[in-house]
Structure 1
Amino acid sequence: MNSRAESGLLVVVGDLLEDIVVWATEPIRAATDSAAQVFRSRGGSAANVAAHAAALVPTRFIGRVGDDGAGLALASALEARGVDVRVQRQGRTGAVVLVVGPDGERTMFPDRAAAADLDAVEPAWLDGVAWLHVPSYAFEHEPMRSEVRRLVQLARTAGAAVSVDASSAGLIDGLGVERIRAWISALRPDVLFADETEARRLGVDAGGADASRIAGRVVVKHGPAPTEVFDGGELAAHVPVAPVAEVRDLTGAGDAFAAGWIAAALGGADVEGCCLAGHALAASVITVPGADRVNSG
């Protein structure tokens, strides 16, 4: 899909970081050298969603970067993807080092730095919002956690839909399962995106139990297996995933899925159509390094 749907503004709140991607080209050997390729790109879960969605729907990003050259470069890179970028500038820009094994699985070392200090966002930055999306990384630190809650309430008052991405099983474990489950439940998102591990952590089992207590709709991704969608705790869709010939780097696949889903939803697609749009966009990023590149072939 190359044309942007004029179906409402998507606003994504969260992190804009530098990704330093280490592609291991042989099995990783501890305490010695391992052959690798290293790539640098614009990253951050929220920024990834915004970058992918901007080709499909009008999209705005809200976040904070450092008052430094890295922050300026990252904001410019995101703007170049067609995103309306609204950032505060103070402190030091964050980065994430991602070590990707030969099987495509990755280990991440995040330093969010200025991104976690988002606070006192101008309400006008939400003007025109039809959908607000927040990765759960935004809940990791204050003051950003409280600020995101305020922005969700402002968006709801404006009549916008709200989605949350569970983001990371490690994040859930680190913050505490009950705490993050309570935070998400209190926001009562219209849509919660999670992979199967994150869903289990949050109490959504294979049959969808407790899904209705955390979000109106829960979208559970199972990698190459069919995606499940639960509405009100009941299975509403079971959508197969088209096979991908070679999976090289899973970085940003979930962000791309969320972008595809939301853009399709804003365009009026049904649940199956939203899943298929998410699958297609995710498939375009998992054969290339980092989350800011797309395989157009």
Structure 2
Amino acid sequence: MSPRVVTAGETMALLRSEGLGSLAHAHELTLGIGGAESNLAIGLARAGLDVTWVSRVGADPLGERVLREIRSEGVQVRAAIDDAAPTGLMIKARPTSMTTTVQYYRAGSAASRLSPADLPDALLEAADLLHVGGVTTLLSPEAAATVEDAVRRARAAGTTVSFDVNHRPSLAPPGGVRDLYTRLAAEADLVFGGLEELALIAPEDADPQDAEALLHAVADLDRRPGREIVAKLGAEGAMSLVDGVLTRHDGFAVPVVDTVGAGDAFVAGYLAARLTGGDAQARLLRGNAHGAMLCMSPGDWESAPRPADLDRFLRPDADPVHR
């Protein structure tokens, strides 16, 4: 059996403008789907892992689209259809070749009504790993409580817990997120974040540009053996701290088309390597490769690699034309 992963979070319908320029002048939008946890689930499924995605969608055509797309990628779907709330919506545009804007329409969405009943004990107990992200906790107080409850129950069952800070400032409540994120990071066996995200759960006087210090600060939240703290450094690669040992892997230089979803792809690659026995260096290498490949085409998940794609990417002498 492949290692089993459970993840929970919102996937939205995604409208993406074609070409460059403001939405105020766009004439065409392409319809797709996007969401951090389903991006990760698809990345893991393409890597050959058994993964279940848990969520809620509205009883509407956009919810039907979300469920069909995720199922078609080999992900096991456990999503309630909520006839009292709509499927969330995300609109993405590229005003210039160097910038991307993302607007959310997800207040009161079906996924904001996630509850502990959507993640039964049997599902968490059967999993090897539960992955959650900070963005889900920002959907509503009920969703935040559901994430914390799932983490608590997973730990009680002996299931490994992975937490990606994955902060969305536009969704953050007025009171901030430090306390919530810190509790989740302390409970998690694996913690992922960019430098600014890790700074949210480190002491407030921590230098947000000092990756090594941030890794140690987050590790200090709970010093139980085996915890892994991982800093996503973008084009510069990534760094991890595992049982006091620092490991770094440089990023890959690639032509960038769209960076949205690259962080989710990195986590998928890292977890795929970890769940199949890769060491610290192999985990970072695979995470960086997945993230780089995601940046090379538009879409939040569409270019997530399968093993053959990854093999070609990692062989610089490979023929770019696949015959």
Report the Cα distance in structure 2 between the residues aligned to 1:104 and 1:36, rounded to whole angstroms.
Answer: 21
Which residue of the partner structure matches residue 218 of structure 2? 211
Q: Would you say 1:266 and 2:275 are equivalent positions?
A: yes
Which residue of the partner structure matches residue 284 of structure 1? 293
SS of the residue corresponding to residue 285 of structure 1 reads: helix
Dislocated runs of 4+, deviation >6 Å: none
Which residue of the partner structure matches residue 3 of structure 1? none
1:114 to 99, 110, 114: 110
TM-score norm. by structure 2 comes to: 0.80
The alignment of Structure 1 onto Structure 2 pairs a total of residues equal to: 285
Q: Would you say 1:66 and 2:58 are equivalent positions?
A: yes
Query: Where do 1:58-97 residues align within 5 Å?
Result: 58-90=50-82, 91-97=85-91
AA aligned to 2:133 is: P
Distance 1:211 1:94, change over 3 A: same
Higher RCO, 1 or 2 (CA under 8 Å, sep at least 6)? Answer: 1
Distance 1:65 1:173, change over 3 A: closer
Query: Where do 1:233-252 residues align within 5 Å?
Result: 234=244, 236-244=246-254, 246-252=255-261
Which residue of the partner structure matches residue 8 of structure 1? 3
Distance 1:128 1:253, change over 3 A: same
Report the Cα distance in structure 1 between the residues aligned to 2:168 and 2:9, rounded to whole angstroms.
Answer: 18
Contact 1:104–1:249 (CA under 8 A) maintained in structure 2: no
Shift of 1:257: 0.7
1:22 to 8, 17, 26: 17
Shift of 1:136: 0.7
Which residue of the partner structure matches residue 182 of structure 1? 182
Deviates more, 1:16-25 or 1:92-101: 16-25
| Structure 2: stretches of 5+ with no match in the other structure | 310-319
Report the Cα distance in structure 1 between the residues aligned to 2:195 and 2:67, rounded to whole angstroms.
Answer: 32
Contact 1:211–1:217 (CA under 8 A) maintained in structure 2: no
SS of the residue corresponding to residue 241 of structure 2 reads: strand
Contact 2:5–2:51 (CA under 8 A) maintained in structure 1: yes
1:45 to 25, 32, 36: 36
Distance 1:197 1:69, change over 3 A: same
Report the Cα distance in structure 1 between the residues aligned to 2:171 and 2:59, rounded to whole angstroms.
Answer: 30
Shift of 1:221: 1.2
AA aligned to 1:227 is: A
Report the Cα distance in structure 2 between the residues aligned to 1:261 and 1:161, rounded to whole angstroms.
Answer: 14
Which residue of the partner structure matches residue 130 of structure 1? 128
Deviates more, 1:73-82 or 1:212-221: 212-221
Contact 2:248–2:284 (CA under 8 A) maintained in structure 1: no
Question: Superposition RMSD on alpha carbons, in Å?
Answer: 2.4
Contact 2:237–2:288 (CA under 8 A) maintained in structure 1: no
More strand by share: 1
Report the Cα distance in structure 2 between the residues aligned to 1:36 and 1:179, rounded to whole angstroms.
Answer: 43
SS of the residue corresponding to residue 220 of structure 1 reads: strand
Q: Would you say 1:167 and 2:166 are equivalent positions?
A: yes
More helix by share: 2
Contact 2:20–2:97 (CA under 8 A) maintained in structure 1: no
| Structure 1: stretches of 5+ with no match in the other structure | 1-5
Contact 1:20–1:39 (CA under 8 A) maintained in structure 2: yes
TM-score norm. by structure 1 comes to: 0.87
Q: What do the CA deviations read for 1:166-196 (whole angstroms, capped 9, x no partner)?
A: 112526864614233333245x211111112
SS of the residue corresponding to residue 289 of structure 1 reads: coil
Q: What do the CA deviations read for 1:9-57 (whole angstroms, capped 9, x no partner)?
A: 011111121121235525x59xx63x68632212111111101111221
Distance 1:102 1:49, change over 3 A: same
Distance 1:105 1:179, change over 3 A: farther
Report the Cα distance in structure 2 between the residues aligned to 1:179 and 1:137, rounded to whole angstroms.
Answer: 15
SS of the residue corresponding to residue 62 of structure 1 reads: strand
Contact 1:68–1:92 (CA under 8 A) maintained in structure 2: yes
Distance 1:230 1:172, change over 3 A: farther
Report the Cα distance in structure 1 between the residues aligned to 2:290 and 2:27, rounded to whole angstroms.
Answer: 27
Larger Rg: 2
